[in-house]
Amino acid sequence: MNLDRRTLLRGIGAAGATLAFSGFASAADGSAQYLITGLNRKTRSELEMGGFTIRHVLAEGNVAVVTGPEGAVGDLEGIRGVSAATRDISVELDLPELDATATATPGEDAALRDLQWDNDLTRATPAHEIATGKGARIAIIDSGIDLDHPDLGNVNENLGEVFVADDDVPEIGPGDSGYHGTHVAGIAAATGAVGVVGLAPEAELIPIRVFPANGGATFGDILAGIDYAAEIGADVANFSLGIPGVQQPGVEINKLRASIQKVFQSAVRRGTVITGSAGNASGNLQQGGGLTLPNSVPAVITVSATSPADTLSFYSNYGTSDIDVAAPGGWYETVPRTLGETGEPDDVPFPYNGVLSTWPMDAAPAYLPISGYDAISGTSMAAPQVAGLVGLVRSLDPSLNAGQVESVIKQGADLSNGNSDPRFGAGRINVLETLQLVE
């Protein structure tokens, strides 16, 4: 595949995948969508009398996603029982452009495993002698998962679900409407049947699609996906999604935080660990109260991205207030080193210094000339590393609650003394060390 520097930089600028704010969420009939906290029987009656329709009831009845007239936040806040109301927003995946020249296919027996430098750093292979994720359930809230990929035979399509307000591809169900979800899913739990091995290769994958093929996902649908994961008893729910940039506490968009926190805390209480990406804006989440959504809430294990050299990847957000742990996300601490213009003799060359994982079989990869696989990078790729590790921990000891799972992952991590490194939090995950603490 022929790639010039401009193409590489464009892809690197996208940092694998992030979200772009695309406006306020609306239904197909033009009605506005809102998130409200505080819900009871009388509240529901008043909502219906006020011309609102309830789409989702979440967080054990404490949060609702409703549609209704434009400019109705004040009306909603005036309903008895409603403690907060805010306009929902729509976000779109911002993905690198594709090159349609890939044709090669891999061989058998995890033929691409030697290219998975991330599994070597986290010591995943020797850890699989202790646990492989059997019995664990990993939910992927994303663009769906390729249901026909040979390395994703552990996908439970029957439990898969779709939360898309105006779905333009309803016929695919929880299948992948793009490619982001398939790549994320393979990092967490690819079986290794053909090309690559995930962190928890015998775990069960649950595809929860919140994106149409064209257009954005609403926060209401993303939260519905998290809530559903808890409802079906998922051990972990991964969302490699977040509003780009670093938000300041007073901006309008942060009014969503109350509903997000209620949903996430409810899921954790029900036993589902939540893993989320820290964001790809190179942003300091430590100074001035900066934060990202939906990642900057206490109930989420927020994950920064590291390179093949165990440095913070150049695009990753950082900050003591937010980062819980780090995991391989791909690329190096600078663009020149990523492209091989600087660095060490044993550096992994571009594009293989991205994270190699599964890719929809009918989609052209972005960088590698290998059908069904590609190497991209971002904190999107770091979060499912931790989700896979949660699956391994839970397969060893299903009795551990969400807080205990997070604690043992932090104890087993490398590169940090304590939990407060602004780049790595408690450290870059060490799969073998973590499982040795559990067994």
From residue 156, alpha-carbon distances to 138, 161, 232, 362 in Å are 10, 10, 12, 20
Nearest-angstrom CA–CA distance, 198 and 191: 6
Q: Which of 142, 167, 324, 421 is catalytic?
A: 142
Q: Are strands 53-58 and 63-68 parallel, antiparallel or unpaired?
A: antiparallel
Of 380, 395, 416, 421, which one is the catalytic site residue? 380
Given the residues 56, 128, 149, 180, the one annotated as active site: 180
Q: Is 56 known to be catalytic?
A: no
Residues of the chain with pLDDT below 70 are 1-29, 94-110, 242-254, 286-296
Closest CA to 119 of 424, 410, 381, 393: 381
Q: What pLDDT score does 255 carry?
A: 75
According to the model, what pLDDT value does residue 366 have? 81
The phi-psi region of residue 40 (left if phi > 0; otherwise alpha if psi is between -120 and 50; otherwise beta) is: beta
pLDDT of 245 reads 57
pLDDT of residue 285: 75
- pLDDT for residue 100: 37
d(CA 399, CA 311): 34
Contact of 160 with 207, CB cutoff 8 Å: yes
What DSSP string runs through 254-320?
GGGHHHHHHHHHHHHHTT-EEEEE--SS--BSSSTT-B-TTT-STTEEEEEEE-TTSSB-TT--B-T
Global pTM value: 0.91
Annotated catalytic residue 142: yes
149 is catalytic: no
Could you give the domains of the chain?
Answer: 5-17+95-438 (3.40.50.200), 26-87 (3.30.70)
Which candidate, 137, 207, 274, 197, places its Cα nearest to that of 431?
Answer: 197
Q: Of how many residues is the chain composed? A: 439
User: DSSP for 92-157?
Assistant: EEE-PPP-TT--B---SSSTTGGG-HHHHHTTHHHHTTT---TT-EEEEEES---TT-TT-TTB-T
Write the pLDDT tens digit of every residue in 336-364.
999 999 999 999 999 999 999 999 999 88
